[in-house]
């Protein structure tokens, strides 16, 4: 597994466009990989972060090595002495009971049931804190870990436009996509290493093509 960290140049018009348009950012990320990727086996996950100095970081997790050459000479990356982009190979190994610090930028949703008067089967955002925490706990139970502590932060609505050719097969036109974003920071405990590593590989929740679902972990300090 490869982890890439790119520090973006906030003055770049391309960066400004990608931050404002999630689909455009998705295209920028995917240009670093071959066109014939298997969507599930070669899952690409990414997230925009901002550090304490205000730098905008693009974090990308991939199963194959990326090629960021298309971003090196066009002003997209912030110039400086720090290695940018920084790419490293990671062999994540965990054991039952191990605690890890985590960050997850997710799109917590639920699907409307048969009792809904309109839009049956449609996904809707979870806006209440209790609903978000319950959503995260269900995901933890499904994916081999439990939540030790967590703080949901940076709630925001994200809008983008999906081109017709990439929309659902039932859609004949381009359409707007709206996502509700919540960032979870906390400490988790691994209960089932196999299921946990599968979740790290595949991501958690919906909206993965728009920067959601990347579960980042690190040793507890």
Task: Render pLDDT for 57-98 as a digit per residue (tens, 0 to 9).
Answer: 999 999 999 999 999 888 999 998 789 999 999 999 999 999
Q: How far apart are CA 46 and CA 50, in angstroms?
A: 13
Please check the confidence at residue 115 and state whether its pLDDT lies above 70: no
Token pair of 58, please?
């693009």
146 pLDDT higher than 60 = yes
Q: Residue 167: its pLDDT value, please?
A: 45
Whether 2-89 and 99-219 share one fold: the answer is yes
Residue 173: its pLDDT value, please? 46
Q: Give the end-to-end CA distance of the chain in Å, rounded to a whole number.
A: 23
Please state, rounded to an integer, the average pLDDT across all residues of the chain.
86
Domain ranges of the chain: 2-89, 99-219
- 32: exposed, middle or buried (C-beta count within 10 Å: 0-12, 13-18, 19+)? buried
Q: Which CATH class is domain 99-219?
A: alpha beta
**2-89 under CATH 3.30.70.1200, yes or no:** yes
Look at strands 86-89 and 2-8 and give their pairing: antiparallel
Does residue 58 contact residue 71 with C-beta atoms inside 8 Å?
A: no
pLDDT tens string 147-204: 999 988 866 666 555 544 444 444 444 456 677 789 999 999 999 999 999 999 999 9
pLDDT digits (tens, 9 = 90+) for 128-144: 889 999 999 999 999 99
pLDDT of 171:
46
CA 77 to CA 69: how far, in whole Å? 11
Report the C-alpha gap between 123 and 130 in whole angstroms: 18
pLDDT at residue 114 in the model? 52
Q: Could you please report the per-residue DSSP string of 97-159? A: T-EEEEEEEE--EEE--TT-SSSTT-EEE--SHHHHHHHHHHHHHHTTEEEEEEEEEEEEEEE
Higher pLDDT, 59 or 113: 59
Residue with tokens 């997790």: 61
């Amino acid at each position: 597994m490869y982890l890439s960290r790119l520090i973006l140049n906030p003055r770049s018009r391309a960066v400004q466009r990608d931050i404002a348009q999630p689909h455009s950012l998705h295209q920028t990320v995917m240009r670093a990989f071959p066109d014939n990727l298997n969507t599930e086996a070669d899952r690409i996950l990414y997230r925009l972060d901002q550090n304490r100095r205000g730098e905008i970081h693009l974090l990308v997790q991939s199963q194959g090595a990326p090629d960021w050459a298309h971003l090196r000479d066009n002003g997209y990356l912030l110039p400086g002495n720090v290695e940018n982009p920084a790419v490293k190979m990671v062999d994540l190994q965990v054991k039952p009971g191990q605690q890890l610090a985590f960050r997850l930028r997710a799109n917590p949703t639920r699907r409307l049931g048969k009792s809904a008067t309109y839009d049956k089967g449609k996904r809707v955002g979870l806006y209440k804190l209790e609903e978000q925490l319950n959503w995260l706990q269900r995901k933890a139970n499904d994916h081999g870990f439990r939540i030790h502590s967590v703080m949901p932060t940076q709630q925001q609505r994200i809008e983008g436009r999906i081109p017709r050719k990439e929309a659902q097969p039932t859609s004949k036109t381009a359409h707007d996509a709206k996502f509700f974003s919540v960032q979870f920071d906390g400490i988790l405990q691994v209960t089932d290493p196999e299921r946990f590593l599968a979740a790290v590989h595949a991501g958690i929740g919906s909206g993965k093509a728009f920067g959601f679902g990347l579960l980042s972990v690190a040793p507890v300090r």
